[in-house]
Homo-oligomer: A and B are copies of this chain.
Amino acid sequence: TTQEDPHWATPLSSFQGFEMIKILNDHPKNKSVFVHGKFRGHEEEAVVILEKTPFSEETLPFALSGETKLKVGLKNDIYGNYHGTPPAQVNGIKVSVVYPATPKHLVKYSQQQTYLVQETGDDYRNITLPFLQAEAFRIQWVYNILEHKQESERIVFEDPDKETGFILLPDMKWDLKQVNDLYLIAIVHKHGIKSLRDLTAEHLPLLHNILKKGQEAIQEKFSIPPCKLRIYLHYQPSYYHLHVHFTHLNFDAPGTGVERAHLLSDVIEHLEIMPDYYSKKTLAFCLRENDQLLAEFRKAGRVPQKSE
């Protein structure tokens, strides 16, 4: 880093000096935790996400070796439970740091009450769209990827066409160590398609192209056939530049629930049946207590007031 770079531009080499403020959220089932904190001597706040890594073919031989000490908890006939202490190779964790984190990041990563909202086409135009336009969410990082300024070495496949092209790359949540939790994202080159809501029949060539070439690239690079893939869009998405998720069918990835995921094959068929389907259809999604958009739906009387 040069003299002009802010201190937080330097990658961390450990959590030296980290001071925990609060656990924002905890997913014991996934073995992950979201923490709000600071680094001693600095004003900026940070969100740190820790997640244990899955076992892999690489690490299993270490986990199942004489180096893993076992302390028996319970032994009954053929069944035994133990606490194991495996060697270092098994114990890596995945760490994501947002630093400096804005109040919005703190909200995003906190656990909150959730509500199912039924957004009609009119709700979108009267409530959601004006809100998105006023917020002008930061998507510079998406353009950095599309312009090969960032993460270009991670690109799995690219179709450079300006209208129907896209970049396919691993999602941040996938470490590429095993295909069981394969997770890739196709980001479209075309700017200005915010979400599902903007899609019309004119985007069918783009959507067909993503489906076909995305499947082919994944078959070729990772030997996973189309019938083992779940290919879908999120509504609401986490950023408003059109992108498509590819996950392994066996992987119960976050955001694959019926209240957020829309299969790309369904999206295509709906647009074929009814070119303006996504501007008219009522779409259900979850909003959390601190989402600004929930406040907008409340103001409009479309979600009940806060209850306890």
Q: Which residues of A contact B (CB under 8 A)?
A: 8-9, 11-18, 20, 23, 26-33, 35, 37, 48, 50, 52-55, 57, 60-61, 63-70, 72, 74-86, 88, 90-101, 111, 114-118, 140-141, 144, 150-151, 154, 172, 178, 180-181, 225-230, 232, 249-253, 256-259, 261-263, 265-266, 269, 273-274, 281-282, 284, 286, 303-304, 307
Q: In the complex, what distance in Å separates the CA atom of A299 from the CA atom of B12?
A: 56
Counted per complex, copies of this chain come to 2
Residue of B nearest to A68 (CB): B15
Complex contact B151–A74 (CB within 8 A) = yes
Whole-angstrom distance between the Cβ of A293 and the nearest chain B Cβ: 14
Residue of B nearest to A283 (CB): B266
Beyond A26-B55, A265-B284, 20 additional contacts (C-beta under 8 Å) are: A15-B68, A18-B65, A20-B61, A27-B54, A28-B178, A37-B64, A68-B93, A74-B151, A74-B154, A76-B141, A76-B144, A79-B141, A83-B95, A84-B94, A84-B95, A85-B88, A85-B91, A90-B93, A252-B257, A256-B258
Complex contact A265–B118 (CB within 8 A) = yes
Complex contact B29–A253 (CB within 8 A) = yes
Which residues does chain B contribute within 8 Å of A116, judged by CB atoms?
226-230, 249
Q: With A85-B88, A256-B258, A257-B261 in contact, is A80–B29 under 8 Å at CB? A: no
Complex contact B225–A66 (CB within 8 A) = no
Which residues does chain B contribute within 8 Å of A114, judged by CB atoms?
228, 249-250
Complex contact A259–B230 (CB within 8 A) = yes
Residue of B nearest to A70 (CB): B12
A97 interface neighbour in B28, B67, B80, Cβ under 8 Å: B80
Complex contact B259–A257 (CB within 8 A) = no
Which residues does chain B contribute within 8 Å of A94, judged by CB atoms?
81-84
Q: In the complex, what distance in Å separates the CA atom of A281 from the CA atom of B17?
A: 57
Q: In the complex, what distance in Å separates the CA atom of A52 from the CA atom of B63?
A: 11
Whole-angstrom distance between the Cβ of A254 and the nearest chain B Cβ: 8
Which residues does chain B contribute within 8 Å of A77, judged by CB atoms?
140-141, 144
